[in-house]
Amino acid sequence: MKPYPIFGALLHSILSIWAIPAPVLGQYSCTSTQTTTAPPELVTTRFHVVERLNVYTPRNIDDVKQRIREQLGNLTSPVLLTAGTDSRENYTATVNRYKGPSGYILFQTIFHGRWFRLWGFADPNVYVPQQMTQYTLGDPLALLSTARYTLDAFLDAPIRLLVVDTANGGTNIMWERPCTLSTFPLTPFIARQTCKELDTQV
């Protein structure tokens, strides 16, 4: 598999600050591998299966997006959450203030369809979604159930939800099961169990 040039360049620039040789982002295997240019203690590779779910509904995407917005609390600026970080009690109250009926906060909305339609797919016969939208949502307090046992939980939080309009007027809703993103075989058992419980809430 070819290296990822963007992440490779980013990693190289970070490591160069400390004059550390950048690793070669090489191919995947089923076991941890060492790079040829970086000391083994600098780079580790772990592998796990990520579950991606896709739910189709005949509902129009405008209806779906409206229902999503109604269920999510709207955080107009992430700074609003940091305002309560002086104590556990204040942070808990701040997070709960911005939660929607679903228990989740909407952190960001990206309208991918607005720019992707200018290019479309390589196959001109494939329908190009016009209103494809990505939502970033989550609950920092729910993240604690796994984050207190492993830092991996922070990498893929908050959750991303992709809503895509289809050629027949319906909508596809896609997301990756949170627990499969943030836990590995060596993750503490209690963290994996509580994470699976959270999966049922998404």
Bigger pLDDT: 131 vs 46:
131
Question: Does residue 78 have a cis bond before it (omega within 30 degrees)?
Answer: no
- In the three-class reduction of DSSP (H, G, I as helix; E, B as strand; rest coil), residue 69 is classed as helix
User: Which of 44-53, 95-104, 150-159, 193-202 has the largest mean confidence?
Assistant: 95-104
What proportions of the chain, in percent to the nearest 5, are helix, strand and coil?
A: 35, 15, 50
Q: Label residue 79 by pLDDT band (50, 70, 90).
A: confident
Sign of CA dihedral 125, 65, 176, 158: positive
Residue 187 in this model has a pLDDT that exceeds 70: no
| pLDDT tens, position by position, 129-145 | 999 999 999 998 888 87
β 72-74/104-110 pair status = parallel
pLDDT at 1: 43
pLDDT at 200: 62
| pLDDT tens, position by position, 8-41 | 555 555 555 544 444 444 443 344 444 455 566 6
**What are residue 93's phi and psi, to 5 degrees?**
-65, -40
Domains of the chain: 1-46 (no CATH), 52-199 (3.30.310.70)
Q: What type of residue sits at position 165?
A: D
